[in-house]
């Protein structure tokens, strides 16, 4: 058993509950920017999460040149699901590439600096980042009047 693949499987199952929650929203509310939260929308947060996986795991760790994910190129929750299918493929490629090699340091640029990061740090950063924004998405949905179901980590 690959523990990191199993962990990501749990994350995908948990993400599915968030997608189902977003699907009960009107298309207008899914993309609505809330000024009280700095003009951010659920749609933008979702795109930002996918972009984080792409930048950290795809570009910085795997050295891939990938087209930038932008909220403007994604118009609804179904298209966002497709973005995350590609994200899942990228994550599994990353996990396969670094299987059993979690300690070597990788030179990565971040803002104006360069730093050494381990593959374990990169994976941990992207998944905790997703859960951080998951909470924001649920909070925005609640402010828009959508009561979320329980949003705990999915059971295996």
d(CA 27, CA 25): 6
Locate the domains of the chain by residue range. Answer: 3-143
CA angle 53/97/108 to nearest 5° reads 50
What is the Cα gyration radius of the chain?
16
* 3-143: CATH architecture: Up-down Bundle (1.20)
User: Tell me, what's the pLDDT at 52?
Assistant: 95
- Name 76's Cβ contacts closer than 8 Å, sequence gap at least 6: 27, 30
- Name 47's Cβ contacts closer than 8 Å, sequence gap at least 6: 69, 70, 71, 74, 80, 83
* Low-confidence spans in the chain with pLDDT less than 50: none
User: Tell me, what's the pLDDT at 110?
Assistant: 55
Backbone φ and ψ for 58, nearest 5 degrees, come out as -75, -55
Say how many C-beta atoms besides its own lie within 10 A of residue 103's C-beta: 9
């Amino acid at each position: 058993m690959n523990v990191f693949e199993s962990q990501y499987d749990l994350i995908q199952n948990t993400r599915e509950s968030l997608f189902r929650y977003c699907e009960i929203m009107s298309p207008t509310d899914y993309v609505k920017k809330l000024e009280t939260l700095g003009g951010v929308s659920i749609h933008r947060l979702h795109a930002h999460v996918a972009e984080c996986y792409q930048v950290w795991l795809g570009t910085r760790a795997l050295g891939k040149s990938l087209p930038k994910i932008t909220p403007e190129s994604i118009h609804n929750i179904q298209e966002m699901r497709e973005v995350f299918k590609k994200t899942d493929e990228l994550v599994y490629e990353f996990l396969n590439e670094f299987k059993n090699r979690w300690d070597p340091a990788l030179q990565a640029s971040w803002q104006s600096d360069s730093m050494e990061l381990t593959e374990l740090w990169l994976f941990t950063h992207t998944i905790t980042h997703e859960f951080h924004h998951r909470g924001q998405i649920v909070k925005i949905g609640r402010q828009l009047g959508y009561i979320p179901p329980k949003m705990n980590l999915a059971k295996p």
